[in-house]
Structures are given as structure tokens and as C-alpha cells.
């Protein structure tokens, strides 16, 4: 048996409770990982309370809300253990595994299949899992994959180039904090937009400039950008037009049908483009991020860390506004 945080009904953080469940056993192509740290992402917060997410406040088009609702469960959760990111140690390997051995420290991403808020999990050796960089703690490594993989995929779709000016809306969040660092890595000048509380955090990630959206409207300061990356759909194409250079790109991580039509229209018309993109990460992307971490080009800053037993408290904290880093869950060493 193993400890895990389970939930059997949708709701506020109180639905999360510590329990004992059957320890998984690895298949021939899988590794069994003793989880040392996991995290809270927006995906965990949504999955915990998906019943309250109507098509209107869902961040994607209605066509994607229905499959998401069916995936997470119509009236009660279909997956009982949350947690998409993890770092830990390989405890055992299946008979066909060649990439890993017992004792390896690894980190990885389970995406929507979740299950990392537990002492053990299994991953296929060719899944989204790789060796943990030694210059990161388990907690830091467990807060890297979601934001880094999503930001990397979306920035690659618009081919960010050295010397470009990039504006990131939502720079203090999971994806935005990675986008700031990756834009810098690709040689762009990065400006991060967030609230007052997150300004120092975003600066510490290497942003060349920061804008506090509670005090300044980025679209009225006369600056122009090659790329405006809006992660949380807090702007509109109409608002951004004067802030985009000619041929500039307005990239959206969250979008509705309206933005999809704008993408179609701007791709036909030419000039400034709207791009709505979904991340489709591959295992090689995690190795790419690991190399950036090893080279000191990518880091993760923990705002707060909670023991597994206090996962409900961690959800409460993660739901508050004004992020100053990641929320990690530690399972001890």
C-alpha cells in the first residue's frame, strides 16, 4: 500500500484527503518511481472542481469543453489522484527497460492522466520522464515540466528569433514564467506583464522589463513587439494591434471560437497574425529543458512547499492571486 491524496467528489480543497491505496506495479516497459516531490498546477485546480467550470468560463472553445468534461468525469471525478508533475527515484524497472536503472533520480510529466500526488507511480520508459538535473532539488524539478513544455511548444510554433521583442501576459504563472526564460534563451528581449506581487519574481527570471497590469496598460505605452504571447486571454487582438510591429504575431494559449476565426482570417489576409496553439509535447522536449537547467539557463523558483498531508492547504494557496513562484508538495527523502 502507499499514501496518496484522493478525491471522490468535485469541490473546494476540502474534498482532497489523505488515504492509503494499492501501490502500483511496473509493467515490462515501465519504471516504478518513488515520488519525492510533486506540484500544484492550474490543471489540478480545474480537475478538482471541474463541475463548476461552465463552457463560458472554460478557457477553450465549447468543442473542447465537452471532451474535457467527459475525460474528467461528468458528475464525479474519473481520476481520483491529482498531480501532473513529479520528481523522484526509480525504485524498480520492468524487464524490457534499458534507459533507466534502480536508483536513478528522475523527473517528468503525466499531463491529464495525473496521479503524482502519491508515494509511487509508474511511467513507460519512453514516456515524459528523464534524468533529473543534479543542480535542482526534487521540489524544483517537480515544478518544471508543465510550464516549460507548454511554453517551449507554443514559442516554437511561432519561431521566436534572436533580437525580437516579446511581451508575455501572465508572466508570473506556470507557463508565463517559463516563457520569459525561454524567450531570453532564444535571444529575444522579454517584457513580462503581471500584478504588483509578481514583479520581483518575473524580474528574477531574467525579464528585461516588467509591467504591472494593475498600474499600466501595456497597449497604451507606445512600445511595439514582434510577439505578444497572451497566456490567460486577458487582452484582445483589437487592443494589441497598435502594440504589434508590422508582421507581428499575437499568440494565444487560451482562446475561443472568436480567436480561431481571427487566426483563419489573418492567415488569409497576411500582415499581423493571430495564432491559437495547443501544446503537443514530446519526450525529447523534456531532455531539451533538462539541458537548459543543467546549463543554468532555466530555473524554477518555489514560492511555497507543503508536505503531502497538507495538499488541500497547498491548493488553497495556489488558488490565491499574486504568484511569486511555484507551489510544490514534498514527500520527504
Ligand X SMILES: NC(=O)c1ccc[n+]([C@@H]2O[C@H](COP(=O)([O-])OP(=O)(O)OC[C@H]3O[C@@H](n4cnc5c(N)ncnc54)[C@H](OP(=O)(O)O)[C@@H]3O)[C@@H](O)[C@H]2O)c1
CA dist 324 and 205 (Å) reads 11
Of the pair 239, 254, the CB lying nearest ligand X is at 254
Do 93 and 26 form a contact (C-beta atoms < 8 A)?
Answer: yes
Q: By CB under 6 A, name the one of 29, 80, 105, 195 that touches ligand X.
A: 195
Residue 133 DSSP symbol? P
Does the protein bind ligand X through residue 114 (CB under 6 A)? no
- In the window 150-189, what residues touch ligand X (CB under 6 A)? 150, 169-170, 172-176
Which residue number is nearest to ligand X in terms of Cβ?
Answer: 173
Cα gap 257→262, rounded to integer Å: 9
Q: How far is CA 46 from CA 11, 134, 141, 253, 260, in A?
A: 10, 32, 22, 16, 23
Contact 171, 181 (CB under 8 A): no
Among 25, 66, 278, 301, binds ligand X (CB under 6 A): 278
DSSP-derived pairing of the beta strands 2-6 and 273-276? unpaired
Binding string, residues 288-327; x marks residues near ligand X by CB under 6 A: ---------------------------------xxx----
Cell of 42: 492550474
What gap in Å lies between CA 329 and CA 23, rounded to an integer? 19
Closer to ligand X by Cβ: residue 115 or 198: 198
* Residues, the chain: 333
Nearer to ligand X, 33 or 40 (CB): 40
For ligand X, the closer CB: 100 or 250? 250
Residue 260 interacts with ligand X (CB under 6 A)? no
Q: Which three cell numbers stand for residue 302?
A: 518555489
Q: Which of 204, 224, 254, 266 binds ligand X (CB under 6 A)?
A: 254
Give the CA radius of gyration of the chain.
Answer: 20
Residue of the chain from 203, 279, 283, 313 that contacts ligand X (CB under 6 A) = 279
Supply the DSSP symbol for 213. Answer: T
Task: Tell whether residue 194 is a contact of ligand X (CB under 6 A).
Answer: yes
Residue 205 is a binding residue for ligand X (CB under 6 A): no
Q: Which positions touch ligand X (CB under 6 A)?
A: 41-42, 59-60, 150, 169-170, 172-176, 193-195, 197-198, 213, 231-232, 234, 253-254, 277-279, 321-323
Amino acid at each position: 500500500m502507499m499514501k496518496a491524496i484522493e478525491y471522490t467528489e468535485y469541490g473546494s480543497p476540502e474534498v482532497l484527503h489523505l488515504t492509503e491505496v494499492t501501490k502500483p506495479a511496473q509493467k515490462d516497459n515501465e519504471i516504478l518511481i518513488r515520488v519525492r516531490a510533486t506540484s500544484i498546477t492550474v490543471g489540478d485546480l480545474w480537475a478538482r472542481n471541474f463541475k463548476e467550470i461552465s463552457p463560458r468560463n472554460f478557457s477553450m472553445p465549447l468543442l473542447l469543453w465537452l471532451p474535457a468534461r467527459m475525460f474528467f468525469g461528468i458528475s464525479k471525478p474519473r481520476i481520483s489522484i491529482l498531480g501532473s508533475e513529479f520528481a523522484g527515484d526509480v525504485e524498480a524497472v520492468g524487464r524490457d527497460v534499458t534507459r533507466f536503472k534502480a536508483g536513478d533520480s528522475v523527473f517528468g510529466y503525466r499531463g491529464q492522466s495525473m496521479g503524482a500526488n502519491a508515494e509511487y507511480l509508474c511511467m513507460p520508459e519512453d514516456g515524459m520522464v528523464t534524468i533529473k538535473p543534479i543542480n535542482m532539488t526534487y521540489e524544483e524539478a517537480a515544478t518544471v515540466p508543465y510550464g516549460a513544455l507548454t511554453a517551449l511548444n507554443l514559442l516554437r510554433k511561432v519561431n521566436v528569433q534572436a533580437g525580437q521583442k516579446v511581451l508575455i501576459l501572465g508572466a508570473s504563472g506556470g507557463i508565463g514564467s517559463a516563457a520569459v526564460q525561454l524567450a531570453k534563451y532564444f535571444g529575444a528581449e522579454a517584457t513580462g506583464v503581471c500584478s504588483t506581487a509578481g514583479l520581483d519574481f518575473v524580474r528574477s527570471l531574467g525579464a528585461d522589463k516588467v509591467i504591472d497590469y494593475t498600474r499600466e496598460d501595456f497597449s497604451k505605452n507606445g512600445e511595439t513587439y514582434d510577439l505578444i504571447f497572451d497566456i490567460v486571454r486577458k487582452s484582445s487582438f483589437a487592443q494589441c494591434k497598435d502594440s504589434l510591429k508590422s508582421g507581428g504575431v499575437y499568440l494565444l494559449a487560451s482562446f475561443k471560437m472568436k480567436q480561431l476565426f481571427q487566426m483563419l482570417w489573418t492567415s488569409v489576409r497576411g500582415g499581423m497574425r493571430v495564432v491559437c496553439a495547443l501544446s503537443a509535447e514530446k519526450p525529447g522536449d523534456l531532455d531539451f529543458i533538462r539541458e537548459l537547467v543543467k546549463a543554468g539557463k532555466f530555473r524554477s523558483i518555489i514560492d511555497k512547499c507543503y508536505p503531502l498531508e497538507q495538499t488541500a492547504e497547498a491548493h488553497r494557496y495556489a488558488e490565491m492571486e499574486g504568484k511569486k513562484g511555484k507551489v510544490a508538495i514534498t514527500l520527504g527523502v
